Amino acid sequence: MENPENPRVFFDVQIGGENVGRIVFELFKDKLPKTAENFRALCTGEKGIGKSTGCPLHFKKCPFHRIIKDFMVQGGDFSNKNGTGGESIYGEKFEDEGFPYTHDKPGLLSMANAGPNTNGSQFFILCKPAHHLDGKHVVFGKVLKGMGVVRELENVEKEEEKPKLKCMISDCGELAPGEDDGICSADDSGDQTPDWPEDSQLDFSNSENKDKVLEMIKSIKECGNSLFKEQKFQPAKKKYKKALRYLNEVDNSMDLSDEANKEIESTFLIPVCLNLAACHLKLEEYAQAIEQCKEVLAANNRNVKALFRKGQAECGLKNFDQALESLSEASKLEPSDKGIQRELAKVKKVLEEYKTKEKKIYQVYSLLLYVGLWKGITRCCRNRYPYMGSEIWGKLNQNLPLLQRSLHLPTLLDNLVRKGQIDQQTNKDLLNLEVEEAVPKLLDLLMSRNPSSARDMSDALQETHPDIAEKVGLGSLPAAEDCSEPRGTSYTTPRTNTRPSCERVKSTTTVKMDERYSFCILQT
């Protein structure tokens, strides 16, 4: 500390509802007593309700609303929670007390402001030196412990400068002289190591400390294993993440041989990643589980546990093809593993059911295509353009093989029976046929009567599938009497996409194919 007489305060921080650790600050009361006292009292909440905001003068539950990587983490707006509010314990604003310190290193605590002498409750924690702020913002404290938590905040995913996950001070207060700083999380797991390697007493740059560090990591991992066995998956996840932080610090700071690094990877890194993936699976955090499995597979692409757990996570995300791929690979490597075989059979069954559902959806899509074409044919007849019916019917013929494979007719046929378009015997006859034969027979039957059958086709769809009919945008079709055949012509069902001479059609009406949906769209 700069001065043992200076007060210490703390923030307990949450990211996305998960506790990530504690930040402990020293406040420079010896040089900046007014600014330090403002921050200290806002940590304890002892000053009651603010006169300007009408809110408790307290940082508890206050968000970190603005984060800029390689610059700073900002918070302190306890009223509006977006950077536009806050209040000091002295009133809305107070003056700049002085500038005895510069913004020369990470971890410094400084006042945010809107210009000279506009200090309130908002503050920022520096992530990198920022000398352009010197003389403009009052530096009044520093991080003693918990810089790892600051880095975690700094690297959270953001939308511009706003964190996507809720970053919040879940609790805060003042530490009495000589009181434990609480950096080692209090739990019943037996783990006494600090949450972040930066706060430990070990020098990670000294390779002679390797054995001590690895023993520490082993202890953290075993605590996680015990919690997992007790089905305390959230606390277990926290321990495995902590072990990974220590392993990353070893990798970044210690100069070890390739052989030593490989041993650490196989003994610690891979098991911890796999255990963390298992926690994510239990908590249904499938995307995070996949990331941990990928870390393992990057080191060893034949790791069966990683392939198995990745397959489970992909299934959880309904990525069934990827799940099948991972589980099939795991099955090849361990063909006798019953757990893998059970999961593989489960995914195959789900995939089959999923494909069946897709097929049914496509059957409905096919029905929509029919109705869209019928609507076009009816309009052509109303306007006495037999050529247009020929054009659209040609499109229908082009898609007929596909529709014959997928269309499901019973519900529609039953509706058409009630409308009198087909009788019960015809209905039975069509149902007894293969779909390949039934589809053209039904269409021939309807079209051989008169175009008003398209109206009944549309009505049938609206009654049996109202949501789909609305999506298609089926308007009211012309009445049957308006759709009678043009005088002097006979309307037949064409089988080829021929184009008879019709100058009126050319000049007033066009047909185009919307390739996104394969629907015929009439433009007049």
The whole-angstrom separation of Cα 405 and Cα 409 is 12
Rounded to an integer, the average pLDDT of 437-444 is 68
Confidence of residue 388 (pLDDT cuts 50, 70, 90): very low
Q: Above 80 in pLDDT, residue 284?
A: yes
Bridge partners (DSSP) of residue 74 are 66, 124
Domain boundaries, the chain: 8-175, 197-351, 357-523
- Residues with catalytic function: 66, 71, 74, 113, 124, 133, 137
Q: Above 50 in pLDDT, residue 510?
A: no
Nearest to 489 by CA among 376, 375, 393, 387: 387
Confidence of residue 457 (pLDDT cuts 50, 70, 90): low
Long-range contact set of residues 486-495: C-beta below 8 Å, sequence gap at least 24: 486/381, 486/384, 486/386, 489/384, 489/386, 491/381, 491/386, 491/389, 491/447, 491/450, 491/451, 493/393, 493/443, 493/444, 493/447, 493/448, 494/389, 494/390, 494/393, 494/394, 495/393, 495/397
Confidence of residue 282 (pLDDT cuts 50, 70, 90): very high
- What is the pLDDT, as a whole number, of residue 314? 93
Across 293-297, 314-318, 369-373, 429-433, the highest mean pLDDT is recorded for 293-297
Q: Which residue matches tokens 């009651």?
A: 48
Nearest to 124 by CA among 147, 107, 146: 107
Q: Tell me if domain 8-175 and domain 197-351 are identical in fold.
A: no
The sign of the dihedral angle between the CA atoms of 460, 455, 497, 520 is negative
Q: Which of 364-373, 391-400, 503-512 has the lowest mean pLDDT?
A: 503-512
Higher model confidence: residue 191 or residue 329? 329
Chain mean pLDDT for the chain: 80
pLDDT in tens, 71-99: 999 999 999 999 999 999 999 999 999 99
- What is the pLDDT, as a whole number, of residue 364? 63
Confidence of residue 185 (pLDDT cuts 50, 70, 90): low
Rounded to an integer, the average pLDDT of 14-37 is 95
Q: Which of 18-22, 176-180, 433-437 has the lowest mean pLDDT?
A: 433-437
Across 27-36, 182-191, 423-432, the highest mean pLDDT is recorded for 27-36
- What is the pLDDT, as a whole number, of residue 382? 45
**Structure-token pair, residue 410:** 């019973």
Higher model confidence: residue 123 or residue 456? 123
- What is the pLDDT, as a whole number, of residue 354? 75
- For the domain made up of 8-175, the CATH class stated in words is mainly beta
Under 8 Å CB-to-CB from 111, ≥6 apart: which residues?
35, 96, 119, 122, 123, 137, 138, 140
Q: Which of 225-229, 288-292, 329-333, 437-441 has the lowest mean pLDDT?
A: 437-441
For 123, phi then psi, to 5°, come to: -140, 170
- What is the pLDDT, as a whole number, of residue 107? 96
**Structure-token pair, residue 76:** 């302190």
- For the domain made up of 197-351, the CATH class stated in words is mainly alpha
Long-range contact set of residues 40-49: C-beta below 8 Å, sequence gap at least 24: 40/7, 40/9, 40/174, 41/89, 42/76, 42/78, 42/89, 42/121, 43/9, 43/10, 43/11, 43/172, 43/173, 43/174, 44/9, 44/172, 44/173, 44/174, 47/89
The whole-angstrom separation of Cα 415 and Cα 457 is 9
CB atoms within 10 A of CB 495: 13
Rounded to an integer, the average pLDDT of 22-51 is 97
Task: Render the burial of 69-85: b for 16+ CB within 10 Å, e for the rest.
Answer: eebbbbbbbbbebebeb
